[in-house]
Amino acid sequence: MSGPTWQMYCPIPLDENGARITLAHGEGARLTRRLIEEHIQPTFDCLELANLPDAAHIVTDTRRLAVTTDCFVVSPLFFPGGDIGSLAVYGAVNDLAVSGARPRWLTLSLIIEEGLPLAVFDCILKSVANTANECCVSVITGDTKVVPCGTADGLFLNTTGIGELVDPVPPGPQSIQTGDRLIVSGPVGRHGIAVLCAREELEFDPPPSSDSASLIDPVAALRQAVGPNVRAIRDATRGGVSAVLHEWAAACDLTMCLREGEIPTSNDIRGACELLGLDPLHVANEGTFVAAIAAEAAEAAVKALQLLPQTQHANIIGEAKVRQIAPVTIYRTLGREQPLDEPAGAALPRIC
């Protein structure tokens, strides 16, 4: 319906007459080969990609691997604080990191809509490469398909991440016990609001910026400080903090009880949420995690996180209690414990 909104935040000036992706780029013939040789391979300085094998070979340092896969359909492709390329790398890397793995390898698949300017394509590939570099992961294989104009929204990505598990691996939410503290690593709701404002052209000044970032260092800091006391970590993506806590509550059959006053939020995100009628706890993050930590180690965990600039606002936001009124509850203004609803969905589609 609406025009291509990726233009708004695309950092490169677009030439109306510039080269664009055509269906022939995806047909496996000469143009496909040139797309790979001239655009993809030079961007990723990677031995595995150089010979275009059908499957990449990897040599691991450990017998225990973690694997994750994610599709990325965010609209617009560029938004304050990131783009679909960096998001696709952080998405896979963060899923590995919070699962207790050191991210090592990535696959990258591209579904490109006919007509996408090659300059935009290059810009996003560059973003993937830079982000992968920053996270010390190699893009080792991938695939490219082109679909006719109107059947996709510019560009869809898929990344599969492979990482090596590092002890101690958090045992997971079913191990959460009464009294465990719940920690959030930073202000909540930034990614969802940033993308929504960019897509709907809501004119907040300055525009809210996504928290999209790697969680490798914060998770490592947490492991180093309180390793065996970490019960579970999850990056609070779609559905936000509330969705993670509802899953955990179901897994351990306890109530996740929050205190509203302790939940870090920035003023711009709170303001936008008030205006749009959203709860920041329901809004997606892309560089913020929730952790359940044994009570005696919670203070040390927060202190360790606060030493990193990215997680300086980390805080204890609540604790696990015996199940009473609801799976997730919150103390608000009047100090009464109230249920926190599970996000019902559809409020913020296509944010990642």
Judged by the rule CB under 8 A, the positions of this chain that interact with another protein are 1-3, 59-68, 70, 95-96, 99, 101, 165, 169, 171-174, 200, 202, 234, 247, 249-251, 253, 261, 267, 270-271, 274, 277, 323-327, 329, 332-339, 341, 344, 346-347
Separation between Cα atoms, residue 192 and residue 230, nearest integer Å: 27
Q: How far is the CB of 173 from another protein (least distance, A)?
A: 7
- Please, which residue, 23 or 251, has the CB nearer to another protein? 251
Cα torsion 175, 178, 181, 182: sign: positive
Nearer to another protein by C-beta: 7 or 338? 338
Q: Tokens representing 271? A: 């303001």
Nearer to another protein by Cβ, of 42 and 339: the residue is: 339
CB of 279 to another protein, least distance (A): 9
Residues 6+ away with beta carbon under 8 Å from 93? 103, 106, 135, 137, 161, 214, 215, 216
Check the CA dihedral 233-237-241-245 and report its sign.
Answer: negative
For residues 174 and 303, which CB has a smaller minimum distance to another protein in the complex?
A: 174
- To another protein, the closest distance from the beta carbon of 291 in angstroms equals 14
CA distances from 3 to 75, 114, 154, 331 (A): 12, 15, 11, 43
The secondary structure element, H or E, covering residue 159 is strand 155-165
Single out the residue of 94, 268, 275, 265 nearest to residue 188, CA to CA: 265
Min dist CB 289 to another protein, Å, is 12
Q: Least CB distance from residue 64 to another protein, whole Å? A: 6
Q: At what angle do helices 216-226 and 84-98 cross, to 10 degrees?
A: 20
Q: Which is nearer to another protein, 119 or 166 (CB)?
A: 166
Which residue in 144, 175, 185 sits closest to 301, CA to CA? 185
How far is C-alpha 287 from the chain's CA centre?
A: 6
Q: Name residue, tokens 């990677």.
A: 46
Minimum Å distance from CB 4 to another protein? 12
Which one, 217 or 341, has the nearer CB to another protein? 341
Cβ proximity to another protein, 200 vs 296, nearer residue: 200
Structure tokens given for 7: 């233009």
